[in-house]
Amino acid sequence: MRILGIDPGLDTTGYGIIEGVEGSLKLVEAGVIETTSKEPIQERVKKIYRGVSGLIGRFKPGALVLERIYSHYKHPTTAILMGHSRGVVCLACGEKNIPLIHYPPARIKKAVTGNGNASKEQVQRMVQSILKIDARGVPDDVTDALAAALAHVFMTSHGSLVLNRSM
């Protein structure tokens, strides 16, 4: 089964698609959907929606995984802006009848690294190790999206079907 992980953001929405192949996990595609603050908000969310809808249409994932919203009380605007992009991701999922899964950030980190308080660098190194890719220079948005997809595999029965994780 293919899993699409999304790290939603209004400026940059990261995505990563993984699948199980011959007992291991393989990166199918990863990248970003970018908008600019110079664009009107309706154009920005339309671009994100079309990008995610296109990914779903092209790769036919069995599930889409998002990190649950977390916002520090000192930065409510961040959550509001992220909410715009999350909303259109959820809409694309609903329109395409793809199961939508949400995990808290600490749960994703724990599933991927074994530590719910892991740093971005630790998550990046584990994503790199698990998928056997060179993640240096890859945007955090992409690494976070891949980590969400990997966490879903490790926390569900899909993990036993695809990977014997003995790291």
pLDDT digits (tens, 9 = 90+) for 108-132: 999 999 999 999 999 999 999 999 9
pLDDT digits (tens, 9 = 90+) for 126-152: 999 999 998 778 899 999 999 999 999
pLDDT of residue 68: 81
Report the relative pairing of strands 63-67 and 2-7 from DSSP bridges: parallel
- For residue 5, pLDDT over 50 is answered with yes
22 is catalytic: no
Catalytic residue among 19, 22, 95, 141: 141
Question: Is the four-CA dihedral 93, 23, 130, 137 of positive or negative sign?
Answer: negative
- For residue 157, pLDDT over 70 is answered with no
Domain limits, the chain: 2-162
140 is catalytic: no
- For residue 144, what are the contacts with CB-CB under 8 A and spacing of at least 6? 5, 7, 14, 67, 120, 123
pLDDT of residue 167: 37
- For residue 164, pLDDT over 70 is answered with no
CATH class, range 2-162? alpha beta
Catalytic residue among 7, 11, 22, 34: 7
Q: What is the pTM of this model?
A: 0.90
Rounded to an integer, what distance in angstroms lies between the CA atom of residue 115 and that of residue 119? Answer: 9
Q: List the alpha helices (DSSP H) in 15-102.
A: 41-59, 76-95
Catalytic residue among 29, 67, 95, 121: 67
7 is catalytic: yes
What is the mean pLDDT of the segment spanning 89-103?
96
